[in-house]
Amino acid sequence: MTKPFHWVLVAAGTAASPAFATQYLSAEQAQALMFPEATAFRRQDLTLTTAQMQQVEKLAGVAARSVNWRVVAALKSDATIGYVVLDDVIGKFELISYAVGLNPDGSVRQVEILNYRESHGAEIRNPAWRRQFVGKRAQGGIAVGEGIANISGATLSCTHVTDGVRRIAAIGQAVLAR
């Protein structure tokens, strides 16, 4: 036997919609992490045409979902060395903001989660509630309680993020690749 370990049963609270949340990186931090060699970043948002939307759907095997995409070009001495695409996905209980770094040929360079927010109440479907977390700067906290920094539990699937990365990879290939 190993040494006995310490665990304490916690009484469930009475909050209406308790939530776990973590902020990992700001969009700016993610950009710098993905393209450390970049000398500048330039916002270069995309609006997909109907033909591009169809192409993205065909390549990704998932719905293109949105016409407008938040894209930042990574520059080195005026040359584009890649892109960062910013997106949010909503699961059954979770809102996840993430960034996908793309190489100039459209291939995926890196994926980083920016922000994770979970709710077991009704607000996860409420656009106003969701908006307050989009693009929020990292503060490095977790709303679990003093000193608690990790959660153990049944695995929460992140299919929405995986589909989202596939969609952005298709946008990279169909629209951004050179």
Q: Which of 17, 54, 107, 126 binds other proteins (CB under 8 A)?
A: 17
- 97 lies in the site for other proteins, by CB under 8 A: no
- Unique residue bearing structure tokens 């770094």: 101
C-alpha closest to that of 137 among 122, 152, 115:
115
Question: What is the nearest approach in angstroms of other proteins to the Cβ of residue 106?
Answer: 19
Question: What is the nearest approach in angstroms of other proteins to the Cβ of residue 50?
Answer: 29
- 127 lies in the site for other proteins, by CB under 8 A: no
C-alpha closest to that of 103 among 129, 84, 119, 90:
84
- 37 lies in the site for other proteins, by CB under 8 A: no
- Residue 57 contacts residue 50 (beta carbons within 8 Å): no
- 22 lies in the site for other proteins, by CB under 8 A: yes
Q: Which of 79, 127, 128, 145 binds other proteins (CB under 8 A)?
A: 145
The one segment of 53-61, 68-76, 126-134, 158-166 that binds other proteins by CB under 8 A:
158-166
C-alpha closest to that of 69 among 156, 176, 178:
176
Residue 156 tokens, joined: 């929460």
